[in-house]
Structure 1
Amino acid sequence: MAKVLLAGESWITATTEYKGCDSFTNTKLEIGCSALLGSLRQQGHTVTHLLAHDVPEKFPWTKGELDQYDVVLLSDIGSNSLALSDDVFAKGIPSVNRMNLLKQWVEAGGSLMMAGGYLSFAGFEGKAHYHGTPIEDILPVQIQPCDDRIEAPEGLRPKPVEANAITDGLGEFPPILGYQKLIAKNESKTLMTVESDPLLVVGNPKKGRTLAYATDIAPHWASRDFMDWQHYGRFFSRCIDWLSGSISE
């Protein structure tokens, strides 16, 4: 089973309540990947979760640190968090470009997955901003330079394109409530679509493996039916298995 580093998929909310003449503010750390973490661990994978606010300082700085993992999963964490460490942003000191480091690690045999969300791929108002970065170079998809979201409140069902080891035997996929409009690269392989757009795409940059999943692993784009689906954990475990080389397409 694989050792996985999941970076992102958490946020801090600040709420101000007004009660007559008085008000007070409270903050809360929220974790969006609890179900995924539990499911992957239940399937036998070892998963380390790096909270979004820790990514700028604690995401691996060296190849040796990345080598502790078989798969890196970026979920709902924008490129700024990989580029703007405290040394760079607050002190003006040059530092390691973690996107370049991740590209080099993958091309040497590592594995990377990006899952969709408001701070994945291009993201909400283009704020994830992975277009034109070393991460786009190694992903199996082209990323738009602008907001790439397709909101689908009516629900859309993903469909496998052909028989493959990730989706075979899982039956009909539950509906999703949105996704990101990506373009599959010529050398990549699209395993699943939604409408006419690629949803699950895999590729092999040099010696590595990459996987783009253009929708969320949690609400809101992952519908309640999707979260309650009996094969939720099995599907994502197979994605990790493919990335780590345990299964082929």
Structure 2
Amino acid sequence: MDNYLEDNMAKILLAGESWISTTTEFKGYDSFTSTKLEIGCTELLESLKKLGHLVTHIRAHDVPEDFPWSKEALDEYDVILLSDIGSNSFNLSNHVFSEGRPTTNRLELLKQWVLSGGSLMMAGGYLSFSGFEGKAHYSGTPIEDVLPVLIKPYDDRVEVPQGALPEIAVDSQITNGLGKFPEILGYQTVTPKKDAQILMTVDSSPLLVNRTVGKGRTIAYMTDIAPHWASQDFMAWENYGEFFSRCIKWLNKDLD
């Protein structure tokens, strides 16, 4: 885990947003293979750090074993952020997949933690919500129960290579005063729940949705926090960090 520590703000656990790439290069008769770890949330981590938040990052390949196993461990954090990490990574730990032993259902654990007062945000990506070819597979899970949206049981992506501009649907503490949002290059389609509030849209589809559920709060953000769906203009936007910081503050009940 990587830890980024400052004072006075929410303690955040970000799970996901990394991948391991393997490349084989062919040079005439010979070839060789190289492998590297890539992190997709560096800018977000640094932005939240600069704004005073406390962030712990669990990389995607560490989630099956290192994501919290108990309510007490979850209680170490104010906000859990899931970004580009599929449900299998929570369900198929070594206990289950390698050893065939029952263990804690951490998606159900996370649901109960939210209902008892925790805060959860899911950001979009190829392994968020339903995801690429439906492989994120959050439809029908305990996570869907507490999120502010209903998730499709199949590939839910909309690719917008020409770019699409997010629009503010209602005035809120999260979006007020941030000005025009830069374009994004894709998003996921969902159905907001009846008790949810749509804060932003893109192409008339919900983009930012929040909800109070039980004693907790949840946010669904239907596009990525980094490329490719977050365009270079979005990444360079002066309010990039402030926007996500406000989402965290709302979840932590510092904004209403």
Which residue does the alignment assign to 1:89? 97
Deviation, 1:175, is 0.1
Deviation, 1:155, is 0.4
For residues 113-159 of structure 1, the C-alpha deviation after alignment (integer angstroms, 9 at most, x for no partner) is 00000000000000000000000000000000000000000100001
Which residue does the alignment assign to 1:76? 84
Give 5+ residue unaligned stretches, structure 2. Answer: 1-8
Structure 2 counterparts to residues 91-110 of structure 1, below 5 A: 91-110=99-118
- Which residue identity does 1:100 align to in structure 2? E
- Paired residue for 2:135, among 114, 119, 127? 127
SS in 1 for 2:13: strand
Q: Distance in 2 between matches of 1:98 and 1:74?
A: 13
Which residue does the alignment assign to 1:7? 15
Q: Distance in 2 between matches of 1:119 and 1:13?
A: 16
Runs of 4+ residues deviating >4 angstroms: none
SS in 1 for 2:113: helix
Residue 166 (str. 1) matches residue 184 (str. 2): no
Structure 2 counterparts to residues 163-202 of structure 1, below 5 A: 163-202=171-210
Which residue does the alignment assign to 1:214? 222
Among the aligned pairs, what percent are the same residue? 66
Which residue does the alignment assign to 1:144? 152
Instruction: Please report the TM-score for the alignment, with normalisation by the length of structure 1.
Output: 0.99
- Paired residue for 2:29, among 12, 17, 21? 21
SS in 2 for 1:130: coil
- Which residue identity does 1:79 align to in structure 2? S
Q: Distance in 1 between matches of 2:66 and 2:40?
A: 19
Instruction: Please report the TM-score for the alignment, with normalisation by the length of structure 2.
Output: 0.97
Deviation, 1:227, is 0.1
For residues 28-79 of structure 1, the C-alpha deviation after alignment (integer angstroms, 9 at most, x for no partner) is 0000000000000111100000000000000000000000000000000000
How many matched pairs? 248
SS in 2 for 1:245: coil
RMSD: 0.3
Deviation, 1:205, is 1.1
